A and B are shown apart, each in its own frame.
Chain A
Amino acid sequence: MEVCESSKVSLREFGCEQNLLSRPDGSASFVQGDTSVMAGVYGPAEVKVSKEIYDRATLEVLIQPKVGLPTVRERSQEQCIRETCEASLLLSLHPRSSLTLVLQVLHDDGSLLSCFLNAACMALMDAGLPMSCLFCGVTCAINTDGQIITDPTAAQEKESRALMTFAIDCAKRRVLMSSTKGSFSVHELQQCIAVSQKASEKIFQFYRDSVRRRYSKNL
C-alpha cells in the first residue's frame, strides 16, 4: 500500500494493490479515501458466438454494487467505463476473443466513477493486456460558493451544485470520457478540465510509484 500526499490539487489518500486475487488474469483494488473498489480482469478467453467481433476482442464490463442487483445507473457507468477501456486497449491484437472486467464496490464515499476507472486501469495493467496509453479518472465537484473540489467525498458531492467526472489519458492529458451532473457554465467546465488534468499528473505519478514498488519487491 502506498500513499500519495497532495499540495496544490488536493486529492484524498490513494492506495492500490495489484495481483491480489488468484483466479482472474489481472486484479487490483483501488482506494481513494474511504471509497474502495476491487477489479478483476478475465481474458483474452473464448467468446460467445453471438458476441464475437471478427476483427477485435469483445470487452464486457460488469459493475457489482455493494448491495442488491445492478441498476440502470450501473449500466450507464458500465457503458462509460467500457468505451474508455476500448479506446485505450489495443483490442485488434486479440480478434474473436473476450475480455471481462468485473468491478466490485467495497465502499462508496464519493468519486465512485473515478475510482472505478482507476481500479480498471490498474487491473488491465496487471493482466498485461496491450494498451496504447493509460488512463485515470478524476471527479470534480463545484460547491455552492463556486469552488472546485477534486476527489470529493459523498457528503461534498451531495452539497455540490455540479459534479463532473473525466477520464484522462496519460499521453497528451486529453479527455477520454466525461460524465456530468448539474448545470454549469462553459468557463467552469474549462476550469474543471484544467484542474482534472493537473490532478491526473499526480494520479499517474502514483500509478508509476505503485507499480515500481511492486516490481522492485518481486525482483
Chain B
Amino acid sequence: MFHFQKENCRPDGRELSEFRTTTLNIGSISTANGSALVKLGNTTIICGIKAELANPTVEAPGKGYIVPNVDLPPLCSSRFRPGPPGEQAQAASQFIADVIESSELIKAEDLCIERGKLCWVLYCDIMCLDYDGNILDACIIALLAALKNTQLPEVTINKETCAPEVNSEKRRGLTIHKHPVGASFCVFDDSILIVDPTAEEESLSTAQLTVVTDEADRLCSLHKPGGTPLSGEKLQECISRATTRQREIQKLIDKVICSVKTEK
C-alpha cells in the first residue's frame, strides 16, 4: 500500500481523488413501489421501497413515516455472519435514517393522507449484494434513486364505511425536496486522503469520513465515527470534493430517470 501511495495512485489504477465508475439502474424490482440498483465499482447495493398504509402516531397525527433498513447479508462478504444485524449494519441504518431526517428529502407531512387517520409508511430496504467498500455512498444513491422512482397509488377514504379505497390506476410520484449525495474518504496516517475506498483500503485506513451535501451546497451530515484526527484544510478539501460529487450524481440520476421515461 505504501508503494502505491508514493506514486500517488491506487492498487486499482485510480488517482487518489477519483471515484469508481457508478452505474445506476432504476425500477429493477417490478413488485416494489420503487427500486434502484447501484454499482460503485464492485460494490452493489439494491434498494426497494414498499409503501404501506398505516395509522399515524398520536404524537404526529399529520405525518407519515419512513423506515430505512440496511442489510449486510453473509452473501456480500465473508466478514458478515448470518443472524441478527451486526454493528456495522445497524450503524449504517441509523446513518441513513439521520440523512433522511437531516436533509428533509421527503417531508413527512407529504405522506399523510387523512390527518390522524391514515398515512403512508415507506419501508426502504437497502441490501448489499457485493461488499467492496464505501457502502454508505452507494446506499444514499440507491435510496435517492429508488425514492425518485416510487409511484404511490391514489387513496381515498370512503365516507360511508370509513375504509380506505386504493385506486391502483391513478399513480403519482413522490415530491423529492432535496438531493443529498454522500462522498466517503479514507485517511492514512493523518496525511493522505483517498476518496471512494475499496474494502481493502477501508480495512487498512486509520480513519473514515463521510460528507453528505445537497444541491444547495448545504451539509446534511459530516460523519466521522472516530479514528485519527483530520486538519481543517483537509476537511475543506473533502467538502469541496463532496459538492462536485453531488452535481455528478444528481445529473446521473436525472439522466437515468429521463431514459426510463422515454423507453415507455
In the complex the two chains form, is B102's CB within 8 Å of A189's CB?
no
Residues of B221-245 whose CB lies within 8 A of A:
221-232, 235-236, 239
The interface residues of chain A lying within 8 Å CB-to-CB of B222 are 164, 178, 180, 189
Closest to A161 in B: B102
Residues of A57-92 whose CB lies within 8 A of B:
72-73, 75-76, 78-87
CA distance A178 to B239 in the complex (A): 14
In the complex the two chains form, is B218's CB within 8 Å of A185's CB?
yes
- In the complex, whether B217 has a CB less than 8 A from a CB of chain A is yes
In the complex the two chains form, is A84's CB within 8 Å of B226's CB?
yes
The interface residues of chain A lying within 8 Å CB-to-CB of B218 are 183-185
Secondary structure of the B contact surface, majority rule? mixed
Give how many B residues have a beta carbon under 8 Å from the other chain's beta carbons: 35
Q: Would A79 and B225 be within 8 Å (CB), given that A175-B230, A183-B219, A185-B217 are in contact?
A: yes
CA distance A176 to B235 in the complex (A): 12
Residues of B57-97 whose CB lies within 8 A of A:
87-88, 90-91, 93-95, 97
Residues of A177-196 whose CB lies within 8 A of B:
177-186, 189-190, 193
The interface residues of chain A lying within 8 Å CB-to-CB of B91 are 75-76, 79
The interface residues of chain B lying within 8 Å CB-to-CB of A172 are 229
The interface residues of chain B lying within 8 Å CB-to-CB of A174 are 229-231
In the complex the two chains form, is B225's CB within 8 Å of A177's CB?
yes
In the complex the two chains form, is A180's CB within 8 Å of B230's CB?
no
The interface residues of chain B lying within 8 Å CB-to-CB of A185 are 217-219
Residues of B157-214 whose CB lies within 8 A of A:
206-207, 214
Closest chain-A Cβ to B144's Cβ sits at a distance in Å of 15
Closest to A50 in B: B81
In the complex the two chains form, is A80's CB within 8 Å of B229's CB?
no
The interface residues of chain B lying within 8 Å CB-to-CB of A179 are 223-225
- In the complex, whether B40 has a CB less than 8 A from a CB of chain A is no
Residues of B114-148 whose CB lies within 8 A of A:
none
Closest to B103 in A: A183
- In the complex, whether A169 has a CB less than 8 A from a CB of chain B is yes
Closest chain-A Cβ to B135's Cβ sits at a distance in Å of 14
Closest to A185 in B: B218
CB < 8 Å: which of B102, B104, B207, B231 contacts A87?
A: B207
The interface residues of chain B lying within 8 Å CB-to-CB of A190 are 232
- In the complex, whether A167 has a CB less than 8 A from a CB of chain B is yes
In the complex the two chains form, is B94's CB within 8 Å of A83's CB?
no
Q: Would A178 and B223 be within 8 Å (CB), given that A72-B90, A183-B103 are in contact?
A: yes
CA distance A75 to B93 in the complex (A): 10
- In the complex, whether B254 has a CB less than 8 A from a CB of chain A is no
CA distance A76 to B92 in the complex (A): 8
In the complex the two chains form, is A189's CB within 8 Å of B219's CB?
yes
In the complex the two chains form, is A181's CB within 8 Å of B98's CB?
yes
- In the complex, whether B220 has a CB less than 8 A from a CB of chain A is yes
CA distance A128 to B34 in the complex (A): 54
In the complex the two chains form, is B226's CB within 8 Å of A167's CB?
yes
Interface residues of B (CB under 8 A from A): 87-88, 90-91, 93-95, 97-98, 101-104, 206-207, 214, 217-232, 235-236, 239
A-B contact pairs, 25 of them (CB 8 A): A72-B93, A72-B97, A75-B87, A76-B90, A79-B87, A79-B88, A79-B225, A83-B226, A85-B226, A87-B227, A162-B102, A164-B222, A174-B230, A176-B224, A176-B226, A178-B222, A178-B224, A179-B224, A180-B223, A181-B101, A182-B102, A183-B103, A185-B218, A185-B219, A190-B232
Interface residues of A (CB under 8 A from B): 72-73, 75-76, 78-87, 162, 164, 167, 169, 172, 174-186, 189-190, 193
Across chains A and B, which 8 residue pairs bring their CB atoms closest together, nearest first? Answer: A83-B226, A174-B229, A76-B94, A75-B90, A84-B226, A76-B91, A178-B224, A79-B91
